[in-house]
């Protein structure tokens, strides 16, 4: 499964980069919209692919199941925040607040995948 790790980590690096770039924008601008759209689309596809391939295979191993459940729960939580942000006014302080939560939680999630889930797998 060595290639899976590389592919996933490459995606994660890309997501970290977009998050930092969004954090550097302010208000409802074309740049923020473009970066947000890219993040939203990429992360949804990434999480779906992760669940269909990586986590589905890990789920068949008893030693992998607790990690899978934990990660999939986080996917759902992150997904909810992303949908919330999608429906909010980008120029509002509320958007930035929620975005900061997403930024923090998403980075935590991918670090956990890289450090704990890959380790276990």
Q: Which is nearer to Fe ion, 99 or 113 (CB)?
A: 113
Angstrom CA distances, 32 to 4, 27, 38, 59, 103, stand at 30, 8, 10, 37, 14
In angstroms, give the least distance from the CB of 33 to Fe ion.
24
Q: Of the two residues 9 and 21, which places its CB atom closer to Fe ion in the complex?
A: 9
Concatenated DSSP letters of 29-70: -HHHHHHHHHHHHHHHHHHHHHIIIIIHHHTTSGGGHHHHHH
CB nearer to Fe ion: give 50 or 95.
50
Shortest approach of Fe ion to residue 104 CB, angstroms?
15
Query: How many whole angstroms separate alpha carbon 77 and alpha carbon 79?
Result: 5
Where in 26-55 is the site for Fe ion (CB under 5 A)? 50
User: In angstroms, what is the minimal distance from the CB of 79 to Fe ion?
Assistant: 10
Pick 85 or 96: Cβ nearer Fe ion: 85
Residues that bind Fe ion (CB under 5 A): 50, 113
């Amino acid at each position: 499964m060595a290639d899976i790790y590389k592919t996933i980590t490459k995606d994660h690096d890309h997501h970290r980069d977009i998050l930092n770039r969004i954090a550097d924008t302010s208000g409802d601008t074309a740049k923020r919209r473009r970066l947000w759209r890219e993040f939203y689309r990429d992360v949804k596809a990434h999480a779906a692919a992760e669940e269909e391939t990586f986590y589905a295979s890990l789920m068949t191993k008893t030693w992998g199941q607790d990690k899978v459940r934990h990660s999939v729960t986080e996917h759902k939580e992150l997904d909810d925040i992303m949908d919330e942000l999608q429906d909010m006014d980008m120029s509002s302080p509320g958007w930035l607040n929620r975005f900061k939560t997403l930024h923090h939680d998403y980075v935590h999630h991918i670090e956990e995948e890289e450090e704990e889930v890959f380790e276990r797998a």
